[in-house]
Amino acid sequence: MSIRTTMTAALVAAATLMAAPSPARSATTEGEVPRLILLVAVDQGRYDYLPRFAGQFTGGFKMLMDQGAVFTNAHLDHYPSVTAVGHSAMLTGAPPSASGIIGNDWYDRKEKRNVTSVEDPGTARLGAGETTGSSPHRLKVSTVGDELKMAHPGARVVSMSFKDRSAILMGGRMADVALWWDTESGNFVTSTWYGDALPEWAAAFNAKRPADAWVGKEWTAANGEVLGQLPDAPGPGYYGGVYNSAFGNDLLVSLAEAALEAEALGTRETTDILALSFSCNDAVGHGKGPHSPQVEDITVRTDQALGRLLGAIDRQVGLARTLVIVTADHGVAPVPEQMAEWKMPGGRFSRAALEESARTALETAFGPGEWVEGRAGSAIYLDRELIAENGLDPAAVQRVLASGIEAVPPTWRAYTRDQLIEGRVPPDPWSRRVLVSFHRERSGDVEVLLEPYWMSSTSGTTHGTPWSYDTHIPLMLMGPGIRPGRYHDTVVLNDLAPTLATLLGIEAPSGASGRALSEALAR
C-alpha cells in the first residue's frame, strides 16, 4: 500500500469517526464502568502542540479536544523529565521516591555499573534472538493495571511501544502482554517475565513483515516538502529509520489493532487496559526540535493514527464504553541555535568542563583521588569507601562537590544528598520536583540543575529538566464518567492514576501521590 493510500485511508477513517455520535456525551447508567481503558502516551508530546497544530487535526486529537476533558495546565511533578519516569508515573501515580524509577538509568552501587530502569538479567528476550530480557522488577509500586487485575482477575492488560521501558512501566508487574521494538530484526519482542513465548498473534504479526512496507519511501509533508527518506533495503539501518520517522506510529497502531482482536479487549464482563506509547515522536523530536516541520508533520500524523485506532475500538468495543486518555511523558527544549536566532537565552556547554571543576574542587579540599565513583544523567555518585578510608564527613564532601559545580556556568543549583534527605531546599516548584524524586537507595550524592534552555548535547535537542518546556504536557480524558470541558487549574500527571482508580472502583496504586480529578468526573 502506498503512503498516499495509507494517509487517505486514515483520513477517511478519521472523518467517519468524527461523524459518529459523541462518545463523551453518550448515555451511561449510574455506576457504569468502561469496558476498555485506552491510554495513549505521546513520547515528547509538548502541550503546546495541541493549540499550535489544532487547525490541521481531523482525527483522535480533535475528537478529544472537542469532546473530552482537556487539562490545559497539566505538568510533571518529578525530576528528571525523561521517558522511564514519565511512563512509570502515568499509571502508578507515584513519584520516583516511591516508585524507585529515578531515571532511564542510574548508577547501581552494588553492581558498580549503570543499570537501566527495566533491564533484567533474570529474564530472556523473546521474539528476536537470544539476549537478556527486560521487566518491571525494579518498579517498587503497583499500577492501575495491577490493582485492576488483583480486584478482577479476568481483566487483561496489554501494553506496547517502540521502547521497552515505556511498554513495561505502563503495563506494570502483572501485565498480560508487553511488546516493544527491536531495530536489529524489525520485530516486536517481549521477555520471559510475561510468558514462555511471544504471543501467537504477535508472532504472526511479525511474520507478515508489516515493518517492511516503507522500504525506500520518502517521508513527505502535506505541502509536498520531503522530510526524509528510508533506506532501500530491510535491515537494522532501515528498522532504525522506521523508528526515526512518522511511519513507526502507523506500525504501532497496526499492532494495537491486532491486539484488540486477538486479546478480545473490551468484550468481556470486566474492564481491560490497552496502553501504547508513540515513541517515534521522541526520536524525531530529538533530532529536529519542537519547531521543525518534521515535528509538526508527525504530530498531525499522530492525530490521524489515533483516529484510526479509535475507529477500530468503536467497531469492536464501542467508544461509548471506552475511556480514552491522551498524555505525554515529557516535553522538550527548543534547539539552542534556533533560540539564539530569536535572541533567547540558553546554549550548549561542555560537560567535561563541569566535571573538571568538580574534580578540582574535591582534590583541592581532600587531596588526589578518584572521588567520583559514578554518573548518571544529572546525578553524581561519590566513592563512599574512599571517603570513609580518609575519615571524612560524607556531608562535607557533598557540599564541596556541590559548591564546585555551582561555580561553573550554566549551573543553576546543585542539591546534596543530605539536603534532600532532610528536605532543606528552597520553597519553589523546581526544588519540590527534585525533592519528591530523591530515592535513598538509588539516587546520587549531588543532583545538578542547569539554567533554562542549556544542554550538554552537541546537536539536536533534549529534555530532562524541571522547567516548563519539559514538564507541560497534554492530559485529555474522554468517555464514561468524564465531564467534557476545558479545565485551567494546574494538575499533575500523578493525578491520572487515582482518577482511574476512582472511576473503576478499585484501590489506588500503592504509591499514588496525586488526587482524583473530581472536577472532570460526571459522578
Report which of 387, 418, 391, 421 is spatially closest to residue 402, judged by C-alpha positions.
418
Looking at every residue in the chain, the average pLDDT score rounds to 94
Three state DSSP letters for 359-411: HHHHHHHHCCCCCEEEEECCEEEECHHHHHHCCCCHHHHHHHHHHHHHCCCCE
Tell me: pLDDT of 32 over 60: yes
Residue at grid coordinates 550538554: 456
Could you tell me the three cell numbers for 177?
502482554
HSE-CB at 226 with a 13 A cutoff on CA atoms is 6
Tell me: pLDDT of 492 over 60: yes
Residues 299, 72: Cα–Cα separation, whole Å: 18
Give the pLDDT band (50/70/90) at residue 104.
Answer: very high
Tell me phi and psi for residue 466, to 5 degrees.
-90, 10
Residue 70's H or E segment, with its range, is strand 69-71
Residues in Cβ contact with 160 at an 8 Å cutoff, skipping those fewer than 6 apart: 167, 177, 178, 179, 180, 188, 252, 255, 256, 259, 275, 276, 277
pLDDT at 456: 94
Average pLDDT over every residue of 57-78: 98
Three state DSSP letters for 236-270: HHHHHHHHCCCHHHHHHHHHHHHHHHHCCCCCCCC
Region for 451 from its dihedrals, namely left if φ exceeds 0, alpha if ψ lies in -120 to 50, beta otherwise: beta
Q: Which long-range contacts (CB under 8 A, 24 or more apart) does 362-368 make?
A: 362/397, 362/400, 362/401, 362/404, 365/397, 365/400, 366/390, 366/392, 366/397, 366/400
329-367: per-residue pLDDT in tens? 999 999 999 999 999 999 999 999 899 999 999 999 999
Contact between residue 144 and residue 500 where contact means Cβ atoms under 8 Å apart = yes
* Dihedral angle over CA of 285, 289, 294, 298, nearest 10: 40
Give the pLDDT band (50/70/90) at residue 21.
Answer: very low
Cα angle, residue 166 at apex, residues 163 and 172 outer, rounded to 5°:
135
Residues 426, 282: Cα–Cα separation, whole Å: 32
374-386: per-residue pLDDT in tens? 999 999 999 999 9
Helix-helix angle 293-316:60-67, to 10 degrees: 70
Could you tell me the three cell numbers for 24?
463523551
pLDDT at 403: 96
Contact between residue 133 and residue 123 where contact means Cβ atoms under 8 Å apart = yes
Three state DSSP letters for 28-59: CCCCCCCCEEEEEEECCCCCCHHHHHHHHCCC
pLDDT at 157: 98
Tell me if residue 348 falls in helix, strand or coil.
strand
Could you tell me what percent of the chain has a pLDDT over 70?
94
Report which of 182, 155, 159, 156 is spatially closest to residue 169, judged by C-alpha positions.
159
Tell me: pLDDT of 419 over 90: yes
Contact between residue 415 and residue 402 where contact means Cβ atoms under 8 Å apart = yes
Could you tell me the three cell numbers for 323?
475511556
DSSP class of residue 79 equals S
Average pLDDT over every residue of 170-192: 98
C-alpha distances out from residue 178 to 136, 185, 212, Å: 10, 18, 22
pLDDT at 31: 54
Contact between residue 316 and residue 261 where contact means Cβ atoms under 8 Å apart = yes
Helix-helix angle 247-262:200-207, to 10 degrees: 140
pLDDT at 13: 41
Could you tell me the three cell numbers for 109?
552501587
Three state DSSP letters for 113-157: EEEECCEEEEEEEECCCCCEEECCCCCCCCCHHHHHHHHCCCCCE
77-101: per-residue pLDDT in tens? 999 999 999 999 999 999 999 999 9
pLDDT at 6: 36
pLDDT at 515: 98
pLDDT at 19: 38
Lowest mean pLDDT among 2-11, 223-232, 398-407, 478-487: 2-11
Tell me: pLDDT of 135 over 70: yes
DSSP class of residue 493 equals G
